[in-house]
């Protein structure tokens, strides 16, 4: 049984399909049509809702795309919809500000903006433009040009005061705390392969996997859910990894930054950026805020997509990954995990458990570049990550890894080796870039031509060299100092 | 006598300020409901009992002939209640809006990849989608025609080539001191209305249909549903409360889905809802036309144009749809704001095996305008002057140099003053200097600046569409019910027209209830398109209001024994000589004295005439003007860029609602900027749309809004007699971001010190910009 709070109403689901999305539930079953379907792929944000959950710091609200979130994943949480923001006929401050600033025209995207703004209102974010852009990065509006929405958001953040939700906070925390959130049984089903399971421990996970070997892993479901919403394929057996102890936490110690495979990007952000602040722009561009509230490293590695943005960073940083099963675990370099187009060396019965990043080495240089048509929430034309450890201006270690250039994430050990020992500031970068370009054989696709990909990758190496040798030259159009907040 | 009612708005309860009257920045009539999630769109309507959900099956090749279509498996699929193919159509099989060519389902020949083959209705949306995948068919593939070149070679067109000729252009071209020519490919654009196409059809007891749809053209939906079913128009009623965005994409192309739902409703006898999943919407509905345009200009040493030969080629897709009017409008705007001297403008309409391209905000105008703006940049580089200087020199004159290639005299040109003002407000020349300095110091990041004007013709070029109707009822509590032929798609039309009516009666805006556009209330309406919604429907509603008001005045004159000039309607009251009544009190008195409180209103646009055969006349009542100054930063290593500052000065005449007008300007600007920058449509070599989802088709997101974005309204009334002297605002601002495209090209040109005009097509993606930089380096090397 799945239990959650729909606004203030406790809901129990017993016979709902494992792959029903939150959006389907809201519109079809609950009759709450304020939440809209614009794309059913997590790209437009018309379906944005806010989910509240108890954390060690108390109740926390986050925006997510209800169209690609499975309703059973709400177990033990509260889902807030736009209808609930109106109290006794009074608009919530974020709604009121949108009206006063003329922030809606056709109005179809508006409920999604309202919910993203509501999550922002209840966050610690400063009342600054960057924070607003980040919070609304997953909401598309085709009518307004966004200016009035930005103005409304800034005003309401500047005048932030308590709302009805603050008054209810303790009651909700208590209700969620009491809510039955044990493992979903789903066992009375005739077919043992049908279900949505939420194991709490690695042991339970192993057992679930044994009894439902064909079930699919689900964490953020930002990619998986598309099989249903875009390809009309039913997903009968789903194992939710986000409740597995150890898979949902980050540990930072002397040996590294250990990120559970089911930790969302928003949750790994502080630890990652503390050691590697240069990854800020890359993280901002990796996906919109609601996507980063759901997406995980385990998911991005597991799908092994050639355009995944995390493998290039992880490979360039020399990260490792622990693969585990009921029988033990093994730790391998991330570079070896992905074996082909959307293929990994994950065995039956195994799961991606933890990603291990090395701690920052003093003096090292990192740049994570992403090239796409649009700055926010776009798929990489090319993702290029460069990592350099200099020793007295000579290259002691250099690692580069790329997305969007081959059927798998790409790295070039021979090319890297050829640079080791060279004097970095006086390196013939044109020649190094030419040799890099010679190694590349990408394809033409909807995002760009092969020719552009090769040109831009070589140029990104030049940029890396420029940025690590010349501080007097402006080299970026985008302000990489975007504010970050969960 | 039964008690009438308490007056809804009695004297003194209405705010004395004239809030909500014409000219005030009133909030959108639905704003509160939109933010609360209670504004209903078609898919949100309470579902009627026994509702079925529909889906369509799409052809998977671009050309060929359908040899067989087996829908047995579809019928057997879980939950299925009905399936229709073209053979199940009792009436017209073709739903072409103006010309034939649009079969409601595949009718033998496959016309494009994604063409609907059949439609299926099932108990649930999921079941219908699953069932739609179950069909089997045999198609004998043909060779798809996919480009302008291939279409021209195959002589494939959807309409006759049209030509405007003003003066002896070829001689003038030859004699001009300088000549330049060029070609530009301009991409199309997906509408990406946030609410996809949707229709809900309920069968009526008489064989007719009640249709709830998301359409800009209810009357056309009514006509086509009736024709497809083979019933008289009066058996079909169409209701449109609002759309979640239209932008032209629901002008002609909403009808097909209503027709399919109606066919399924007829077959099953049950209500049917058909809403398209985003991927189907993107594959199966038309877009902004891509164009391939060529130009040759003759000019003097000052860059003053003496002669022009311009050819525009619209990629129309498989059918005429609205393409002929769209290519015409591209021709009408291939001069933009400039006097071309002796000119010839030719417009071709290429037929291709792609989805039938359709109306999209600007309606061909933007593609015409882009061409001349690109050309003016080239002239400026050729003579070594700043592009703004050359643009200003070439603007239409007021007393001479004021006749367009289609022989219309430009009577209302305000651009010289408007541009001068924007030039000052935006510090164009100071920033030009600063940017030049910046660019000299920065090899990697280059800045660009451009100021471009817009002159956009207002009126439907199909003369008969320039008419509108309205219906007003006043109830005995003093509340007013307003209906007109225009549809609300977010543009604020309902708000503006309600403001007009509130102003006429001197009542608060809240006293005026706007409701769904319905074909049984106002018949035979034009589409809400061509920016004309307020011009037409505002006037029609005003006329209806004045009819009733005149009756009230006549009644009061008689009843209270006063002169007409002693009666005033203001602040919710009626002043009758020294007596003050509430509006409701007067209405009740009029009712008791048997005065009709309901009236229709009608309007047709004056002064229009157009001789299509000669390509001459006055197709527009007036022009709307504007100008924008945009500054960009370009990364010469990757071609990525940012738009750093935009200043706009735009002409809406005397604004009916400045907040709504500014919203249209800002929104139009960003939408046009998307068209020219990030939004790239791509097909593969078999005619399959690759950019078929928001994953790979990128409209502007919030971070693309320029951090400095100044928009001002040009304070001058319309010289023509329009509704409260306002001007249309829907489409013109979409062309303001041509300044962004020109600024990007300016940044590229800086790489060779502005001596070379770089080749650049649209949209200016990072890839195109990086290769434009390469091209400029190559040109530099060749020159030295």
Confirm or reject contact between A377 and chain B (CB < 8 A): yes
Helix axes B365-383, B323-332, angle to 10 degrees: 30
Q: Does A36 touch chain B (CB under 8 A)?
A: yes
Based on the domain organization, do A389 and A451 belong to the same domain? yes
Closest CA to A285 of A359, A150, A381: A381
pLDDT band at A78 (very low <50, low <70, confident <90, very high): very high
Confidence band for A482, pLDDT divided at 50, 70 and 90? very low
| Contacts A18 to B, Cβ<8 Å | none
**Does the beta carbon of A105 lie under 8 angstroms from any beta carbon of chain B?**
yes
Q: Is residue A482 part of a domain?
A: no
Same domain, A420 and A444: yes
Q: Residue A34 and residue B37: Cβ atoms within 8 Å? A: yes
Per-residue burial over A288-306, b = 16 or more CB atoms within 10 Å of its CB, e = otherwise: bbbbbbbbbbbbbbbebbb
Contact assessment for residue B365 and residue B333, using Cβ atoms and an 8 Å cutoff? yes
Query: Measured between alpha carbons, how far is B761 from B773 in angstroms, rounded to an integer?
Result: 13
Q: Quick one: B626 and B753 in the same domain?
A: yes
- Residue B485 pLDDT: 97
A438 occurs within a structural domain: yes
Amino acid B784: pLDDT? 74
Owner of token pair 């070439």: B394
Please report whether residue A153 resides in a domain: yes
- Yes or no, beta carbons of B640 and A477 under 8 Å apart: yes
Q: Is A145 left (phi over 0), alpha (psi -120 to 50) or beta?
A: left
Shortest Cα distance from B442 to chain A (angstroms)?
7
Token pair for A76 = 């033990």
Looking at the fold, whether B441 and B557 belong to one and the same domain comes out as no
Cα B402–Cα B407–Cα B412 angle in degrees, nearest 5? 40
Contacts of A442 (CB under 8 A, 6+ apart): A404, A405, A406, A450, A453, A454
What gap in Å lies between CA A133 and CA B779, rounded to an integer?
A: 40
Q: Is residue B663 included in any domain, yes or no? A: yes
What's A71's domain CATH number?
A: 3.10.20.30
Q: Which residues in chain A have Cβ-Cβ distances shorter than 8 Å to B765?
A: 373, 448
Question: What was the pLDDT predicted at B18?
Answer: 52
What integer pLDDT is reported at residue A478 of this predicted model?
A: 65
pLDDT for position A190: 67
**Is the Cβ pair B31, A474 closer than 8 Å?**
no
Instruction: State pLDDT tens for residues B666-709.
Output: 999 999 999 999 999 999 999 999 999 999 999 999 999 999 99
Instruction: Tell me the average pLDDT across A414-424.
Output: 97
Return d(Cα A75, Cα A171) in angstroms, integer.
Answer: 18
* Cβ contact, residue pair A142, B39, below 8 Å: no
Residue B196 lies in a domain: no
Please report which helix (H) or strand (E) contains residue B605, including its range: none
Are B354 and B315 in contact by the 8 Å Cβ rule? The answer is yes
> What is the ipTM score, two decimals?
0.97
- Domain match, B596 and B637 both: no
Q: Residue B708's CB: how many other CB atoms inside 10 A?
A: 10
Over the stretch B493-509, which tens digit does the pLDDT of each residue have?
999 999 999 999 999 99
Q: What is the pLDDT of residues B759-771, one digit of tens each?
A: 999 999 999 999 9
Residue B519 and residue B497 share a domain: yes
- Please give the order of strands across the beta sheet that includes B136-141: B109-110, B64-70, B136-141
| CB contact A443 to B (< 8 Å) | no
HEC assignment per residue over B228-288: HHCCCHHHEEEEECCCCCCCCCCCCCCHHHHHHHHHHHHHHCCCEEEECCHHHHHHHCCCE
Residue closest to B359 by CA, chosen among B398, B314, B394: B314
In a domain, A484, yes or no: no
Note the pLDDT tens digit of each residue in B344-397. Answer: 999 999 999 999 999 999 999 999 999 999 999 999 999 999 999 999 999 999
Whether residues B702 and A133 touch (CB distance < 8 A) is answered with yes
Inter-chain CB proximity A371 and B242 less than 8 Å: no
Q: Are residues B625 and B646 in the same domain?
A: yes
Chain A closest-CA separation from residue B634 CA (Å): 7
Q: Are strands A338-340 and A343-344 parallel, antiparallel or unpaired?
A: antiparallel
Q: Looking at the structure, tell me whether residues A231 and A136 fall in a common domain.
A: no
Are B635 and B724 found together in one domain?
yes
Residue B271 phi/psi, 5° resolution? -65, 145
Q: Choose one of A240, A259, A283: the last residue of a domain.
A: A240
Partner-chain contact B194 A133, CB within 8 Å? no
Model confidence band, residue A480 (pLDDT cutoffs 50, 70, 90): very low
Domain that holds residue A154: 93-162
A148 and B701 within 8 Å at the Cβ level: the answer is no
Q: Do A183 and A158 have their domain in common? A: no
Instruction: With beta carbons under 8 A apart, name residues in chain A contacting B709.
Output: 145, 147
Q: How confident is the model at residue B3 (pLDDT cuts 50, 70, 90)?
A: low
Q: B12 CA to chain A: closest CA distance, Å?
A: 25
Nearest residue to B448 (alpha-carbon basis) of B387, B495, B395: B387
The CA-based diameter of chain B, rounded to the nearest angstrom, is 98
Q: What is the pLDDT of residues B197-245, one digit of tens each?
A: 999 999 999 889 999 999 999 999 999 999 999 999 999 999 999 999 9
Contacts of B751 (CB under 8 A, 6+ apart): B446, B636, B773, B776, B777
Residues B640 and B768 in one domain: yes
Domain assignment of residue B539, given as a range: 31-39+467-604
B587 and B683 in a single domain? The answer is no
Indicate if the pLDDT at residue B1 is higher than 60: no
Query: Is B702–A150 a contact, with Cβ atoms under 8 angstroms apart?
Result: yes
DSSP secondary structure letters along A423-486: BSTT--HHHHHHHHHHT------SS--HHHHHHHHHHHHHHHHHHHH-SSS---SS-S------
A277 and A413 inside one domain: no
Sorted by sequence, the CB contacts under 8 Å of residue A401 that are 6+ apart come out as A311, A312, A313, A314, A315, A316, A335, A384, A385, A409, A410, A411
Residues B605, B457, B335: CA angle, nearest 5 degrees: 150
Angle, CA A351 vertex, CA A348 and CA A354 arms, to 5°: 155
Q: How many CB atoms lie within 10 A of CB A187?
A: 10
Looking at residue B2, what is its pLDDT? 61
pLDDT range class, residue A473, cuts 50, 70, 90: confident
Per the domain annotation, does B529 fall within a domain?
Answer: yes
Q: Is the minimum CB–CB distance between A40 and chain B shorter than 8 Å?
A: yes
Distance CA B231, CA B221 (A): 13
Q: How many CB atoms lie within 10 A of CB B563?
A: 8
In a domain, B332, yes or no: no
Measure A79 CA to nearest chain B CA, in Å: 15
Under 8 Å between Cβ of B393 and B355 = no
- CA–CA distances in Å: residue B59 to residues B68, B140, B249, B278, B598: 12, 12, 21, 17, 50
Domain boundary among B552, B575, B604: B604
Q: What pLDDT is stored for residue B474 in this prediction?
A: 98
Question: Which of B223, B219, B211, B220 is closest to B258 using CA atoms?
Answer: B211
Phi, psi values for residue B291, rounded to 5°? -130, 150
Nearest beta carbon to residue B634 from set A99, A230, A477: A477
Q: Domain for residue A335, yes or no?
A: yes
∠ CA B519-B525-B529 to the nearest 5 degrees? 120
Candidates B227, B679, B731, B767; catalytic one? B731
Give counts: helices (H), strands (E), chain A: 17, 19
Would you say residue B292 lies in a domain?
A: no
**In the predicted model, what is the mean pLDDT of residues B271-279?**
98
In a domain, B746, yes or no: yes
What mean pLDDT comes out for the span A241-262?
Answer: 97
DSSP-based three-state secondary structure for A53: strand
**Minimum CA–CA partner of A147 in chain B:** B705
Per-residue model confidence (pLDDT) at position A477: 80
Residue-wise pLDDT tens digits, B598-636: 999 999 999 999 999 999 999 999 999 999 999 999 999
- Average pLDDT for chain B: 96
Asked whether residue A397 is domain-assigned, the answer is yes
Chain A interface disruption, residue of B25, B30, B35, B445, most A CBs within 10 A: B35
Neighbours of A277 (CB within 10 A): 13
pLDDT of residue A182: 54
User: Using CA atoms, how far apart are residues B221 and B203, in angstroms rounded to an integer?
Assistant: 15
Separation CA B532–CA B554 (nearest Å): 33
**pLDDT above 70 coverage of chain B, percent:** 98
| Domain final residue pick, A357, A389, A415 | A357
**C-beta atoms of B242 and A373 within 8 A:** no
Q: Of B604, B634, B666, which one is at a domain's C-terminal end?
A: B604
Instruction: Round to whole Å and give the CA distance between A116 and B324.
Output: 43
Residue B14 has pLDDT above 60, yes or no: no
Residue B719 and residue B598 in one domain:
no
Tally the C-alpha atoms within 13 A of residue B148's C-alpha that lie toward its C-beta.
19
pLDDT at residue B24, as a whole number: 95
* Residue to substitute from A18, A46, A108, interface B, most B β-carbons within 10 A: A108
A486: pLDDT strictly greater than 50:
no
What's the pLDDT score for residue B698? Answer: 97
Say which residues have a Cβ less than 8 Å from residue B508's Cβ, sequence separation at least 6: B9, B14, B15, B19, B20, B502, B572
Is A262 inside a domain boundary? yes
The residue of B19, B29, B34, B683 whose CB has the most chain A CBs within 10 angstroms, and thus the best one to mutate to test that interface, is B34
Q: What is the mean pLDDT of residues A296-322?
A: 96
* CATH number of the structural domain spanning residue A256: 3.30.465.10
Sorted by sequence, the CB contacts under 8 Å of residue B324 that are 6+ apart come out as B98, B99, B158, B159, B162, B349
Separation of alpha carbons A328 and A429, rounded Å: 46
- Is the pLDDT confidence value at A185 over 60? no
B129 contact residues in A (CB cutoff 8 A): 232
Q: Are residues B755 and B696 in the same domain?
A: yes
Q: Which residue has the tokens 């309607």?
A: B569
Residue A192 pLDDT: 81
Question: In chain A, how many domains are there?
Answer: 4
**End-of-domain residue from the set A130, A162, A194:** A162
For residue B488, the chain A residue with the least C-alpha distance is A106
Please indicate, yes or no, whether residues B599 and B529 belong to a single structural domain of this protein.
yes
Same-domain pairing of A226 and A127: no
Domain count, chain B: 2
Calculate how close chain B gets to A149, using CA atoms only, in Å: 9
Query: pLDDT, tens digit, for every residue of A120-145?
Result: 999 999 999 999 999 999 999 999 99
Q: Report the pLDDT averaged over residues B257-278.
A: 98
What is the token pair recorded at A221?
């479901």
Q: Residue B469 pairs with which residues in a beta bridge?
A: B602
Establish if A58 belongs to a structural domain.
yes
Q: What is the CATH number of the domain that holds A103?
A: 1.10.150.120
Size of interface A-B (CB pairs under 8 A): 257
- Structure tokens belonging to residue B467: 């008419």
CATH classification at residue B746? 3.30.365.10
| N-term to C-term CA, chain A | 30
Cβ-contact A143, A110 below 8 angstroms: no
Q: Which residues of A touch B633 (CB under 8 A)?
A: 477
pLDDT at B17 over 80: no
A388 pLDDT more than 90: yes
Q: Which two tokens stand for residue A34?
A: 């304020």
How many Å apart are CA A141 and CA A145, to the nearest integer? Answer: 7
Is the pLDDT confidence value at A186 over 90?
no
Are B471 and B452 part of one and the same domain? no
Has B731 been annotated as catalytic? yes
Instruction: Give ∠ CA B50-B56-B57 in degrees, rounded to 5.
Output: 140
Joined together, the tokens standing for residue B282 give 């993107």
- A306 and A226 part of one domain: no
């Amino acid at each position: 049984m799945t239990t959650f709070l729909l606004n203030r109403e406790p809901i129990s689901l017993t016979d709902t399909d494992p792959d029903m999305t939150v959006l389907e539930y809201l519109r079809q079953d609950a009759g709450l049509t304020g939440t809209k379907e614009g794309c059913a792929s997590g790209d437009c944000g018309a379906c944005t809702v806010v989910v509240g959950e108890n954390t060690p710091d108390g109740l926390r609200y986050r925006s997510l795309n209800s169209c690609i979130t499975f309703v059973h994943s709400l177990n033990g949480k509260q889902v807030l919809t736009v209808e609930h923001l109106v109290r006794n006929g009074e608009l919530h401050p974020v709604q009121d500000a949108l009206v006063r600033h003329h922030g809606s025209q056709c109005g179809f995207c508006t409920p999604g903006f309202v919910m993203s703004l509501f999550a922002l209102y209840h966050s610690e974010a400063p009342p600054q433009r960057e924070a607003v852009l980040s919070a609304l990065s997953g909401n598309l509006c085709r009518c307004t040009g966004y200016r009035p929405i930005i103005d409304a958001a800034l005003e309401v953040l500047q005048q932030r005061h308590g709302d009805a939700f603050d008054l209810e906070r303790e009651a909700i925390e208590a209700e969620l705390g009491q809510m039955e959130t044990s493992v979903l049984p789903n066992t009375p089903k005739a077919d043992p392969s049908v279900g949505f399971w939420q194991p709490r421990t690695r042991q339970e996970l192993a057992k679930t996997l044994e009894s439902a070997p064909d079930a699919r892993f689900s964490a953020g479901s930002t990619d998986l859910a598309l099989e249903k919403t875009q390809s009309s394929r039913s997903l009968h057996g789903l194992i939710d990894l986000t409740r597995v102890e150890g898979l949902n936490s980050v540990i930072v110690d002397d040996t590294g930054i250990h990120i559970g495979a089911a930790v969302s990007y928003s949750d790994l952000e502080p630890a990652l950026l503390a050691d590697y602040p240069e990854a800020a722009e890359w993280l901002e561009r990796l996906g919109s805020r609601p996507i980063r509230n759901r997406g995980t490293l385990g998911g991005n590695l597991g799908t092994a997509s050639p355009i995944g943005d995390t493998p290039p960073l992880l490979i360039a940083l020399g990260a490792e990954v622990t693969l585990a099963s009921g029988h033990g675990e093994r730790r391998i370099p991330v570079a070896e995990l992905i074996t082909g187009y959307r293929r990994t060396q994950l065995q039956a019965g195994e799961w991606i458990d933890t990603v291990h990043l090395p701690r920052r080495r003093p003096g090292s240089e990192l740049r994570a570049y992403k090239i796409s048509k649009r700055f926010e929430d776009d798929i990489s034309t090319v993702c290029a990550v460069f990592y350099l450890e200099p020793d007295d201006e000579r290259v002691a270690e250099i690692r580069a890894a790329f997305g969007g250039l081959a059927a798998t994430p790409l790295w070039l050990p021979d090319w890297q080796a050829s640079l080791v020992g060279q004097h970095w500031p006086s390196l013939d970068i044109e020649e190094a870039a030419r040799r890099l370009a010679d190694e590349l054989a990408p394809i033409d696709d909807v995002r760009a031509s092969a020719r552009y990909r090769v040109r831009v990758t070589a140029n990104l190496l030049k940029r890396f060299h420029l940025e690590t040798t010349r501080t007097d030259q402006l080299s970026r159009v985008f302000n990489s100092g975007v504010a970050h907040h969960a | 006598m039964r008690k009438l009612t308490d007056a809804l708005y009695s004297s003194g309860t209405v705010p004395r300020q004239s809030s909500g009257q014409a000219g005030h920045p009133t909030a959108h009539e639905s704003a509160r409901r939109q933010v609360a999630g209670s504004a209903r769109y078609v898919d949100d309507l309470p579902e009627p009992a026994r509702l079925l959900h529909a889906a369509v099956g799409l052809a998977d090749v671009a050309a060929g002939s359908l040899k067989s279509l087996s829908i047995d498996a579809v019928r057997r699929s879980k939950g299925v209640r009905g399936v229709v193919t073209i053979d199940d159509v009792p009436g017209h099989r073709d739903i072409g809006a103006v010309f034939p060519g649009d079969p409601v389902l595949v009718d033998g020949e496959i016309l494009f990849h994604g063409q609907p083959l059949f439609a299926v209705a099932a108990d649930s949306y999921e079941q219908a989608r699953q069932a739609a995948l179950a069909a089997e068919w045999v198609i004998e593939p043909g060779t798809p025609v996919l480009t302008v070149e291939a279409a021209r070679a195959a002589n494939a067109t959807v309409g006759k080539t049209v030509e405007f000729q003003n003066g002896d252009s070829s001689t003038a071209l030859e004699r001009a001191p300088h000549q330049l020519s060029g070609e530009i490919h301009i991409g199309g654009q997906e509408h990406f209305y946030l609410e996809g196409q949707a229709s809900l059809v309920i069968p009526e007891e008489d064989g007719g249909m009640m249709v709830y749809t998301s359409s800009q053209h209810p009357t056309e939906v009514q006509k086509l549903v009736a024709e497809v079913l083979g019933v008289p128009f009066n058996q079909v009623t169409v209701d449109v409360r609002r759309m979640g965005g239209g932008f032209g994409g629901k002008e002609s192309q909403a009808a097909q889905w209503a027709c399919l739902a109606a066919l399924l409703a007829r077959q099953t006898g049950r209500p049917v809802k058909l809403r398209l999943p985003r991927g189907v919407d993107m594959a199966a509905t038309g877009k902004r036309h891509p164009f391939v345009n060529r130009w040759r200009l003759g000019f003097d040493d000052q860059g003053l144009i003496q002669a022009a030969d311009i050819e525009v080629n619209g990629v129309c897709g498989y059918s005429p749809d609205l393409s002929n009017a769209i290519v015409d409008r591209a021709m009408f705007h291939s001069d933009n704001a400039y006097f071309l001297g002796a000119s010839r403008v030719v417009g071709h309409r290429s037929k291709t095996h792609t989805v039938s391209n359709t109306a999209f905000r600007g309606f061909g105008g933007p593609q015409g305008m882009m061409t001349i703006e690109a050309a003016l940049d080239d002239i400026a580089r050729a003579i070594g002057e700043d592009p703004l200087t050359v643009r200003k020199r070439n603007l239409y004159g007021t007393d001479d140099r004021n006749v367009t290639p289609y022989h219309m005299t430009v009577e209302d040109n305000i651009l010289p003053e408007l541009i001068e003002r924007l030039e000052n407000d935006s510090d164009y020349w100071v920033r030009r200097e600063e940017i030049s300095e910046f660019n000299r110091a920065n090899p990697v990041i280059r800045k660009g600046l451009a100021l471009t004007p817009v002159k956009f013709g207002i009126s439907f070029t199909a003369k008969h569409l320039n008419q509108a109707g309205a219906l007003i009822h006043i109830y005995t509590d003093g509340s007013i019910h307003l209906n007109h032929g225009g549809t609300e798609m977010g543009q604020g039309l309902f708000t503006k027209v309600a403001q007009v009516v509130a102003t006429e009666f001197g009542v608060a805006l809240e006293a005026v209830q706007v409701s769904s556009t319905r074909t049984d209330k106002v018949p035979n309406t034009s589409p809400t398109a061509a920016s004309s919604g307020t011009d037409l429907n505002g006037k029609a509603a005003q006329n209806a209001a004045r009819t009733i008001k005149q009756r009230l005045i006549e009644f009061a004159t008689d009843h209270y024994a006063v002169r007409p000039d002693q009666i005033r309607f203001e602040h919710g009251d009626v002043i009758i000589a020294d007596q003050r009544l509430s509006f409701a009190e007067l209405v009740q008195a009029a009712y008791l004295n048997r005065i009709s409180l309901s009236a229709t209103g009608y309007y047709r646009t004056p002064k229009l005439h157009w001789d299509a055969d000669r390509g001459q006349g006055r197709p527009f009542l007036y022009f709307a003007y504007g100008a924008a100054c945009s500054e960009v930063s370009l990364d010469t290593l990757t071609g990525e860029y940012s738009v750093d500052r935009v200043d706009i000065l735009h002409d809406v005449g005397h604004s009916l609602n400045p907040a709504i007008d500014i919203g249209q300007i800002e929104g139009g600007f960003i939408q046009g900027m998307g068209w020219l920058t990030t939004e790239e449509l791509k097909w593969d070599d078999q005619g399959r749309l690759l950019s078929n989802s928001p994953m790979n088709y990128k409209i502007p997101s919030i971070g693309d809004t320029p951090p400095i974005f100044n928009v001002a309204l040009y304070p001058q009334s319309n010289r023509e007699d329009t509704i409260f002297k306002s001007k249309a605002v829907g489409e013109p601002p979409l062309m303001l971001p041509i300044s962004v495209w020109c600024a990007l090209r300016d940044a590229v040109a800086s790489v060779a010190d502005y001596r070379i005009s770089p080749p650049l097509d649209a949209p200016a993606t990072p890839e195109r910009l990086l290769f434009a930089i390469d091209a400029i380096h190559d040109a530099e090397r060749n020159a030295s």
